[in-house]
């Protein structure tokens, strides 16, 4: 009986802890949401054909436009919170959730082509031109594919920790061997809290020392809604990642963490050469460069965009 009581107490304690962690993650998400509210963002939904695209927009109509595209895991608002804090006073900032992430979804097939089409429908709906587009990881593949097709709508392209078509197939095989998985889907489409913890460990140089119950709460909040569609996106990527222009006429920046354990930093130099891009490497960070080293990231991005403005002003008619 004594053992039974101890077990009941332990179970109740664990249940309480799990409930508290769920609440903590919801509060964190709400605090990020409030960051956007305080900066004057409006939460909006675009319905276009098969697509339902959720996004944030601060609607500064007469400012230059920055459009941020997130990668696997989380959603737009969480990925780019540090950049919203830095840039939203001086730019019109638009932060969408990609299809099958966050609050966005679609009846269309889960493909890179669908993602590009959804982003373009947003650009068209909002009548945007001269966009500074920034994409990280899978969002970088989306941004590269978008730039290849709709370069005329962009003023610049910034690719963060995303190799496009310069990464060799044997790098993917080595990544799977190194992480003891048969497919990248096992890493990027977590099935439970342990998988989320592993993804954090691979993505970050200094992952947070959360107890497993916190990772359970993170899984439920950010990873549990569209696993089938997200797995299909990864199946589609190898056949479509080559839809990237050999050259782009717009200014391009490549940003990378030297300690990236997902896409090796050697790919940064290959992509820089392919796109004739500027390159900035952060020696301290890994795959989640914008979140782990936001001050350095924001400075590099700002200097890049400022250089475009300076060039435009110097070339303007006197």
Read off the pLDDT of residues 107-154 as tens digits, 9 standing for 90 and up: 999 999 999 999 999 999 999 999 999 999 999 999 999 999 999 999
Q: What is the pLDDT of residue 19?
A: 62
Pairwise CA distance, residues 314 & 318, whole Å = 9
- Distance between CA 9 and CA 17 in Å, rounded? 12
pLDDT at position 177 over 70 = yes
Q: What average pLDDT score do residues 212-224 get? A: 91
Q: pLDDT (tens digit, 9 = 90+) per residue, 11-32?
A: 333 343 456 777 788 888 899 9
Q: What is the domain range of residue 74?
A: 2-310
- The answer to whether the Cα torsion of 75, 81, 86, 87 is positive or negative is positive
pLDDT at residue number 73: 83
Q: Does 317 reside within a domain?
A: no
pLDDT exceeds cutoff 70 at 245: no
pTM: 0.91
Domain count for the chain: 1
Instruction: Let me know if residue 318 belongs to a domain.
Output: no
pLDDT in tens, 61-89: 999 999 999 999 889 999 999 999 999 99
Q: Is residue 13 part of a domain?
A: yes
**Is residue 8 over pLDDT 60?**
no
Query: Does residue 316 fall inside a structural domain?
Result: no
Residue 255 domain flag: yes
CATH, residue 56 = 3.40.50.1820
Task: Please check whether residue 135 is in contact with residue 144, taking contact to mean a CB–CB distance below 8 angstroms.
Answer: yes
pLDDT at 10 over 50: no
Classify residue 284: in a domain, yes or no.
yes
Residue 134 lies in a domain: yes
**Residue 315 located in a structural domain:** no
| Closest CA relative to residue 225, chosen from 100, 70, 114, 45 | 100
Write b or e for each residue in 275-293: b if 16 or more Cβ atoms lie within 10 A of its Cβ, otherwise e. bebbbbbbeebbbbbbbbb
Q: What value, to the nearest 5°, has the Cα angle with vertex 212 and ends 209 and 213?
A: 115
């Amino acid at each position: 009986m004594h053992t039974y009581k101890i077990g009941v107490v332990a179970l109740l304690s664990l249940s309480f802890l799990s409930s508290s962690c769920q609440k903590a993650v919801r509060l964190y998400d709400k605090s990020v949401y409030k960051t956007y509210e305080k900066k004057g963002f409006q939460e909006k939904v675009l319905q276009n054909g098969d697509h339902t695209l959720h996004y944030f927009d601060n609607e500064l109509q007469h400012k230059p436009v920055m459009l941020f595209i997130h990668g696997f895991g989380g959603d737009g608002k969480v990925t780019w919170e540090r950049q919203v804090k830095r840039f939203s006073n001086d730019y019109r900032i638009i932060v969408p959730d990609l299809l099958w992430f966050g609050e966005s979804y679609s009846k269309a097939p889960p493909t890179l082509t669908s993602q590009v089409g959804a982003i373009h429908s947003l650009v068209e709906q909002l009548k945007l031109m001269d966009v500074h587009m920034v994409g990280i990881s899978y969002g970088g593949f989306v941004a590269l594919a978008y730039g290849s097709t709709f370069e005329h709508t962009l003023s610049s392209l910034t690719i963060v920790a995303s190799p496009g078509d310069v990464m060799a197939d044997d790098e993917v095989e080595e990544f799977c061997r190194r992480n003891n998985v048969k497919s990248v889907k096992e890493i990027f489409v977590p099935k439970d809290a342990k998988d989320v913890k592993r993804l954090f460990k691979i993505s970050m140089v200094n992952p947070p020392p959360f107890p497993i119950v916190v990772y359970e709460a993170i899984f439920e909040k950010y990873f549990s809604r569209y696993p089938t569609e997200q797995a299909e996106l990864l199946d589609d990527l190898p056949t479509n990642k080559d839809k990237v222009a050999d050259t782009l006429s717009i200014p391009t920046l490549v940003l990378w963490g030297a300690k990236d354990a997902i896409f090796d930093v050697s790919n940064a130099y290959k992509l820089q050469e392919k796109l004739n891009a500027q390159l900035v490497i952060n020696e301290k960070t890994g795959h989640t460069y914008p979140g782990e080293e936001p001050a350095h990231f924001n400075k590099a991005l700002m200097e890049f965009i400022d250089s475009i403005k300076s060039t435009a002003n110097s070339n303007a008619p006197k």
